[in-house]
Structure 1
Amino acid sequence: MRNIFTKLCVAATIGAAALVAAPAAHAVGVTAADTHPEQATFTTAPAGEVSIQAAGDGTPAGAIQWYKNHLGSTGWQGLCEKAAENSYGVTGVWASANAHWNGASPKHTTGTPPAGSFVYWNISAYGHVGIADGSGGFYATSVGGAIGHGSSVSYFNNYRGWTPAAVPHQ
């Protein structure tokens, strides 16, 4: 009986790991020429600050927590829109960051984006999107080659602006 229980526990652990595994990387046009590395900071979440329950729960705080939980991950490289959507607990809403920018409203091109709002750049054929930290910085893919934190939206060239924090929908 104990052997069966052990096998079930191992199978459940492997299954759970498969559910949270990062998607495969796909290279999309964010290059070193598009970034200002001095505008990035890399942090790891101290023990006790990572909240799996809050991440991806459809709230601005949950979206930020999702990015904090994935700091350093390279699994979403080339999938910035998917990461932004996943941070709000959805996926497959917009085909790209450009499509999200073009379809979302209202658009703001000035001011400090509130925490959890979407921030956009026009730096590739698909654009780029991340989530604002509320202090003028953001979380996104392609920050130093991984999910990271930039202390200013000036980290990437061609900043477009922001749209309000909300679960992505068309």
Structure 2
Amino acid sequence: MDTGAQQDEPLPDVVAPDLDVLFCGINPSLMSAERGHHFARPGNRFWPALHLAGLTPRRLRPGEDRELLRYGLGVTNLVDRPTRTAAELAPEELRAGAAALADLVARHRPRIVAVLGITAWRLATGRPRGDWGRQEESIAGARTWVLPNPSGLNAHHQLPDLARLYAGLRG
């Protein structure tokens, strides 16, 4: 199985051909890069949200991120550079990341790309009024959704909200 691992990436993509959903975070946290696993910060709600949304049969731990492939799911980031907060990223990095994401999607053909963070989506695409949910445009033929960032730093959405919104990907 292709995990997309590359030596120069601080946090390898978890990707394979023809996934149901490819989740796209903004960029790795310092802890995720150090541990080598996506969404590794203890306060991150990605793993419980996936389970509560019915996308995984049990709550996975960050160290099991490659198990996502068994469920037709994958994960990547718009920007490879780890930071303490996503606010440290320059708009140019996000735009370059959007182009790289389109290349990744064209190669692996997931059915849906779910970008986790509306501000990053708006900056990456140059759409200052982008909104939540399914987007009109696709990324390299994949349906595109914008969902809330599961970071514990994002207090705008609580875990039940995340699970409800992420469950929309199942339809």
> If the TM-score is normalised by the length of the shorter chain, which range does it land in?
under 0.3
Q: What TM-score results when the alignment is normalised by the length of structure 1? A: 0.27
TM-score where L is the length of structure 2: 0.26
Structure showing greater Rg: 1
Higher helix residue share: 2
